[in-house]
Structure 1
Amino acid sequence: MQTSVTSSAPRFSDAGVIWLKLAVVYLIIGISMGIAMGASQNFTLRPVHAHINLLGWTTMALAGLIYSVFPKAGESRLARLHFWLLNLALPVMMSALALLLFGQVGVAPVLALAEIVAALGIVAFAVNMFINLKH
């Protein structure tokens, strides 16, 4: 006799799942950097490590959870803008910051531009929250 079981557990939104999976990738990168810095006792990239953990892991994981709990916000045009701005800016920003920390001062304008793009992504998120979160 075969029975079918239907789950009443809520399903995460596609947007939320993508954010959460990317967050885990950044968690792995951040933890790996921390282990490498500890093993080598070279902490030059400490700011990169911190930003990857904060903007990559924490911010993206929270966005994924928020977009899952509030699917209207997660499916909005602002959520897509948030996604692309932050996910295009963060790797550029971290690479430029690493190069700057290693003495390549010529990358400072690239770093500044990537920081502005990332900040615009966060502004898109904030506007999205105020527009689409209702109680």
Structure 2
Amino acid sequence: MPKPILSPAGYTPEFAMAFANQSGSSQQVSSGAPLPVTFATPAGPPPMSGKATLDKRAGPFLPRPGRAVMLVLSGTWQGTVRLLRSTDGGATTFGLTAAGLPYGEYSTNICEPVWEEAEEGAALYLDMKVTSGSISYRLGQ
């Protein structure tokens, strides 16, 4: 027969968990004030936006690692837009690839996540070749 577990003092000490609430005061955890368990996501860098009617390279955009990068291309235009990446301040840029094939090349209006950066300090650029019209672009997080 198992022996019962006994508290050495013969009683259970009272224990309360608290956290700093919005005013900075101590707030006891309860069903009405649960322990905050999520972290606020830091704001991303300001978006890079503009228009191109001639060939243009826009950048750098320094994405926050671990977050999706959204690209919006709009307007009435013909041409191509390539997303480029650099880790040396733009001295060298590389077109993106996936499984060895070109990735991040667009010839129509889009609004979609296009990249998720893993390396702090890497920069993204847009290389736009405009054959006609005007491209409005926005790259942000």
- Common fold: TM-score over 0.5: no
Task: Determine which structure has more spread, i.e. the larger CA radius of gyration.
Answer: 2
TM-score, normalised with respect to structure 2: 0.26
Larger RCO, structure (CA 8 Å, separation 6 or more): 2
TM-score, normalised with respect to structure 1: 0.26
Instruction: Determine which structure has the larger strand proportion and give its number.
Output: 2
